[in-house]
C-alpha cells in the first residue's frame, strides 16, 4: 500500500521510546545526586585552607617569647621627674635702692647694675634690745621676700652702720640662713655689749665670714660702674655714742649721688661739714637718725641739698620720727619727702643721669 508521499509502509515495529525516557530520567537523577556530593566535597577542598589560614590552630611556643614579662625600668628613665630650673639673679639695668618699711629701724637693699648686691642695715630682729620696739623680725618679714623675688642668692656686702638692734637685728636671720652666700661684712668696729651685737659677732665667727672695720677715707669696691667712699666715722678713736659712729657712705653712679647716714648725730654731722663741706652734696639722702630734729640742722641740710629725702620711722610712737620740723626743713631746700611709714617700701632708681621713684603705697 502506498501512502500519499509514495513511501511504502513496512510492518509495524514495537516502540522503545518509553525505555529510553526512563533511562534518561534515572541518569539525570543520578547526576544530580552526584553533583550535590561533588559540590560538598569541593567546598571542603576549596574553603578548608582559608578557614585554616584565618583561624589557625594554637601553636605551642615558649610563653616568655610570645608574651614577654614586663621589664623593670627605673621610674626616672621611663617617666622623668620635672627638672627644677633655678632662677638666676639678673642685675637691674639701673642702680636700684630699696628703702624698706621696717618701722622704727633702718634697712636698705642696694643693687648695682654691674652685679653686686649690698644690704646696708637690716632693721630689728626677733628679740630687740629695746622692748618698746613694735616692728620685729625685719630680716624675715621685709627683706627676705624681696631677696627671693629678685632671685638673689649672694649678698656681696653687708654693712652694719652701728651696733643698735634696730639696725643690726634683721641680719641675725639672714646670717643664720643657709640660703644666702655672704661676701663680706663691714662695720665701724665699736665695742658694744648688747645681746644683738654679741649675737651678730658670734654668727660671723661661727660661719667664718670675712669681716672688716671701715673708717673715713676707705674706698669700697662695689663695682667698676660706681664710686663708693666712707665719710665717717673718723680713723682713730671713736665717739662714745654708737649713733655718732654710724658708717656714713657716699655712692656716686654717673652724675647721680646717694648718701647713707645711719644714725649720725650732732658731732658726726659737724665733722662732715668741717671736713667735706660741699662734697657731701647728694641727690638722694637717707635722712639721719630716722628724721630726728637733733640730726637734721639747717647747715647740714643746706650742704646736702638733696632732691629726694627718705625717712624710716613710725611717724608716731615711740619717738615721733620723722618729726614735722625735720620734714619741713628738707622741703625748704626743695627736697621731695619719701617716708616709709606712709609709702611702704620705697625704690629709687638711677640711670646715671635721671632719678625715678616707685613706692609700695
Which residues, in sequence order, are CB contacts of 182 under 8 Å at separation 6+?
Answer: 154, 155, 158, 174, 175, 207, 209
CATH topology of domain 95-359: Metallo-beta-lactamase; Chain A (3.60.15)
Is the Cα torsion angle 181, 197, 137, 121 positive or negative in sign? negative
Lowest mean pLDDT among 18-27, 189-198, 243-252: 18-27
Give dist(CA 171, CA 160) in Å, integer. 9
Domain residue ranges of the chain, discontinuous segments joined by +: 95-359
For residues 237-256, average pLDDT: 97
The confidence score (pLDDT) of residue 281 equals 98
The confidence score (pLDDT) of residue 22 equals 65
Lowest mean pLDDT among 33-37, 136-140, 206-210: 33-37
Contact predicate 281/303, CB 8 Å:
yes
Share the mean pLDDT of the chain.
Answer: 85
Instruction: Specify the 3-state DSSP secondary structure of 220.
Output: strand
For residues 82-101, average pLDDT: 90
**Residue whose cell numbers read 613710725:** 314
**Does the pLDDT of residue 49 top 70, yes or no?**
no
**Does the pLDDT of residue 85 top 90, yes or no?**
no
Rounded to 5 degrees, φ, ψ at 288 are -60, 145
User: How far, in Å, are 72, 75, 76 from residue 82 at the CA level?
Assistant: 21, 12, 10
Half-sphere exposure of residue 244, counting CA atoms within 13 Å on the CB side?
11
Contact predicate 205/168, CB 8 Å:
no
**Residue whose cell numbers read 611556643:** 61
DSSP state for residue 139 in the 8-state scheme: I
The confidence score (pLDDT) of residue 278 equals 97
Percent of the chain with pLDDT over 70: 76
Give 37's pLDDT tier (boundaries 50, 70, 90).
very low
For residues 259-277, average pLDDT: 98
For residues 246-261, average pLDDT: 98
Give dist(CA 186, CA 112) in Å, integer. 18
Residue 340 backbone zone (phi > 0: left; psi -120 to 50: alpha; other: beta): alpha
Percent of the chain with pLDDT over 90: 70
Lowest mean pLDDT among 14-18, 93-97, 251-255, 347-351: 14-18
CA angle 355, 360, 361 (to 5 degrees): 110
To the question of pTM greater than 0.85 for the whole model, the response is: no
The confidence score (pLDDT) of residue 248 equals 98
Contact predicate 250/269, CB 8 Å:
no
Higher-scoring residue by pLDDT: 43, 331: 331
Give 285's pLDDT tier (boundaries 50, 70, 90).
very high
The confidence score (pLDDT) of residue 169 equals 96
The confidence score (pLDDT) of residue 46 equals 39
The confidence score (pLDDT) of residue 69 equals 54
Element (H, E) at 273: helix 266-276
The confidence score (pLDDT) of residue 28 equals 60
Long-range CB contacts (< 8 A, 24+ apart) of 144-152?
A: 144/173, 144/174, 146/98, 146/100, 146/109, 146/345, 147/109, 147/180, 150/89, 150/111, 151/87, 151/88, 151/89, 151/90, 152/89, 152/117, 152/180
Give dist(CA 40, CA 361) in Å, integer. 99
For residues 242-262, average pLDDT: 98
The confidence score (pLDDT) of residue 101 equals 97
Lowest mean pLDDT among 36-50, 164-178, 233-247: 36-50
For residues 66-89, average pLDDT: 60
**Does the pLDDT of residue 68 top 70, yes or no?**
no
**Residue whose cell numbers read 660671723:** 204
**Does the pLDDT of residue 34 top 90, yes or no?**
no
Number of neighbouring beta carbons within 10 Å of residue 196: 25
For residues 176-193, average pLDDT: 96
Give 82's pLDDT tier (boundaries 50, 70, 90).
low
DSSP state for residue 141 in the 8-state scheme: I
For residues 250-275, average pLDDT: 98
Amino acid at each position: 500500500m502506498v501512502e500519499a508521499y509514495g513511501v511504502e509502509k513496512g510492518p509495524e515495529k514495537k516502540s522503545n521510546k518509553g525505555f529510553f525516557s526512563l533511562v534518561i530520567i534515572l541518569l539525570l537523577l543520578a547526576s544530580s545526586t552526584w553533583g550535590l556530593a561533588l559540590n560538598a566535597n569541593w567546598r571542603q577542598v576549596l574553603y578548608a585552607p582559608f578557614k585554616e589560614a584565618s583561624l589557625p590552630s594554637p601553636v605551642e611556643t615558649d610563653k616568655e617569647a610570645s608574651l614577654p614579662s614586663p621589664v623593670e625600668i627605673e621610674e626616672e628613665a621611663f617617666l622623668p621627674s620635672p627638672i627644677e630650673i633655678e632662677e638666676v639673679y639678673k642685675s637691674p639695668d639701673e642702680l636700684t635702692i630699696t628703702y624698706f618699711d621696717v618701722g622704727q629701724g633702718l634697712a636698705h637693699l642696694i643693687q648695682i647694675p654691674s652685679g653686686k648686691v649690698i644690704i646696708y642695715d637690716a632693721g630689728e630682729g626677733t628679740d630687740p634690745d629695746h622692748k618698746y620696739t613694735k616692728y620685729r623680725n625685719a630680716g624675715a618679714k621685709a627683706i627676705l621676700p624681696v631677696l627671693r623675688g629678685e632671685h638673689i642668692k649672694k649678698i656681696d656686702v653687708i654693712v652694719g652702720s652701728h651696733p643698735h638692734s634696730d639696725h643690726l637685728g634683721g641680719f641675725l636671720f639672714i646670717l643664720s640662713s643657709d640660703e644666702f652666700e655672704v661676701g663680706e661684712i663691714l662695720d665701724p668696729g665699736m665695742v658694744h655689749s648688747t645681746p644683738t651685737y654679741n649675737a651678730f659677732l658670734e654668727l660671723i665667727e661661727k660661719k667664718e665670714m670675712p669681716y672688716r672695720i671701715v673708717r673715713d677715707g676707705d674706698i669700697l669696691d662695689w663695682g667698676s660702674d660706681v664710686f663708693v667712699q666712707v665719710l665717717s666715722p673718723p680713723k682713730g678713736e671713736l665717739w662714745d655714742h654708737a649713733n655718732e659712729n654710724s658708717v656714713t657712705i657716699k655712692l656716686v653712679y654717673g652724675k647721680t649721688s646717694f648718701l647713707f647716714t645711719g644714725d649720725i648725730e650732732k658731732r658726726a654731722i659737724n665733722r662732715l661739714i668741717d671736713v667735706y663741706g660741699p662734697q657731701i652734696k647728694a641727690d638722694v639722702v637717707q635722712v639721719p637718725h630716722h628724721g630726728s630734729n637733733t640730726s637734721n640742722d639747717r647747715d647740714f641740710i643746706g650742704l646736702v641739698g638733696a632732691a629726694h629725702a627718705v625717712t624710716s620711722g613710725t611717724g608716731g610712737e615711740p619717738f615721733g620720727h620723722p618729726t614735722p620740723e625735720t620734714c619741713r626743713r628738707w622741703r625748704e631746700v626743695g627736697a621731695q619727702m619719701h617716708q616709709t611709714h606712709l609709702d611702704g617700701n620705697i625704690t629709687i632708681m638711677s640711670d646715671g643721669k635721671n632719678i625715678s621713684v616707685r613706692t609700695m603705697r
